[in-house]
Amino acid sequence: MPRHDPVSMPVGGRIAVGVSGGGSNLRALAAAAVRGELGGEFVLVFADRACPALDWAEGQGIETILVPGGDDEVLASALRAVAPDVVVLAGYLRILGPHVLAAFPGRVLNVHPSLLPAFPGLHAAGDALAAGVAVTGVTVHLVDATLDGGPIVAQEAVDVLPGDDEDTLLARIHPVEHRLLPRAVTALLAGAIDVPSGARRATVDRVAVDAAAPVPRRALLSVSDKAGLAELG
Ligand code: GRF
């Protein structure tokens, strides 16, 4: 994968996003782009089935394509036509085939609702509940030919609380996904992700990511005596 000088990172990096469902991760990516934190723009949203996420993208005026069943050759040629720098699987519930993977080596990210390698597959939250674990979480990883098995880019734990069901657990997992995925996309666009030979975990150059797309730091002040606030500001 080409590494970019973070200072000259293309703020207009080209991003293709795959979806199959509700599209909350797609909307989180779009929100990060609007805030100027993503370092890129959408050139294509693709789906393997009709879904709300695809409808939302169409409504936003983003170029979309429905590839029924996620046909590998059709998808590879649709993606090549828009030449994305990064392909993001944001709730795309299908394994990519060899044509797509060969066209974008090291440039495909996936978000998964567990701490991989625990609970790969389509039912990660339910599987975590069934296993009785106290902690699960979110993983963003580079995609290879394995099922949810590519090099890990980012992970964050989420507690499983007594009485959780799939809905309540996923309701706490999603906000973590919405924070980790855009940052990983920024990092990949910035050339800040590297996978040492044979490693299962990618390294992320956080200084390069911050240089590429600084996240504004905000503080909330609440005071009863407002004297001097103007000077502080
Ligand atoms: C997310 O939980 C993601 O981790 C998984 O599919 C879900 C997609 O949700 N791969 P959404 O469509 O982004 O709301």
Model confidence pLDDT, tens digit, residues 20-57: 999 999 999 999 999 999 999 999 999 999 999 999 99
Residue with tokens 């790969």: 120
Residue 211 confidence class, pLDDT cut points 50, 70, 90: confident
What is the CA(34)–ligand 1 centre distance, in A?
Answer: 21
Quickly list DSSP for 218-231.
Answer: ------S--TTHHH
Among protein residues, the one with the nearest Cα to ligand 1's atom 6 is 91
**Pocket lining: 52 vs ligand 1, CB cutoff 6 Å:** no
Quick one: pLDDT at residue 217?
62
pTM above 0.75, yes or no: yes
Among protein residues, the one with the nearest Cα to ligand 1's atom 4 is 112
SS3 32: helix
pLDDT, tens digit, 9 for 90 and up, residues 130-141: 999 999 999 999
Alpha helices in the chain (DSSP H): 24-34, 52-59, 72-82, 98-103, 124-131, 166-189, 206-212, 229-232
Residue with tokens 């959408």: 42
Quick one: pLDDT at residue 90?
98
Quick one: pLDDT at residue 228?
62
Residues in the chain: 233
**Pocket lining: 111 vs ligand 1, CB cutoff 6 Å:** yes
Looking at residue 11, its amino acid is: V
112 as an active site residue: the answer is yes
Q: Residue 179 pLDDT > 70, yes or no?
A: yes
Q: How far apart are CA 198 and CA 76, in angstroms?
A: 26
Quick one: pLDDT at residue 215?
67
What is the CA(209)–ligand 1 centre distance, in A?
Answer: 24
Quick one: pLDDT at residue 6?
36
What is the CA(152)–ligand 1 centre distance, in A?
Answer: 17
**Pocket lining: 91 vs ligand 1, CB cutoff 6 Å:** yes
pLDDT, tens digit, 9 for 90 and up, residues 123-177: 999 999 999 999 999 999 999 999 999 999 999 999 999 999 999 999 999 999 9
φ and ψ at residue 124, rounded to 5 degrees: -60, -45
Among protein residues, the one with the nearest Cα to ligand 1's atom 8 is 91
**Pocket lining: 177 vs ligand 1, CB cutoff 6 Å:** yes
Number of H helices, E strands in the chain: 8, 9
**Pocket lining: 90 vs ligand 1, CB cutoff 6 Å:** yes
Looking at residue 98, its amino acid is: P
Among protein residues, the one with the nearest Cα to ligand 1's atom 5 is 91
- Range with the poorest average pLDDT among 73-82, 111-120, 183-192, 208-217: 208-217
Closest atom of ligand 1 to CA, residue 51: 12
Q: Average of pLDDT values for 195-206?
A: 94
Residue 210 confidence class, pLDDT cut points 50, 70, 90: confident
What is the CA(111)–ligand 1 centre distance, in A?
Answer: 7
Q: How far apart are CA 142 and CA 105, in angstroms?
A: 9
Catalytic residue among 4, 112, 141, 174: 112
Cis ω on the peptide bond leading into residue 214 (within 30° of 0)? no
Q: Residue 5 pLDDT > 90, yes or no?
A: no
What is the CA(81)–ligand 1 centre distance, in A?
Answer: 26
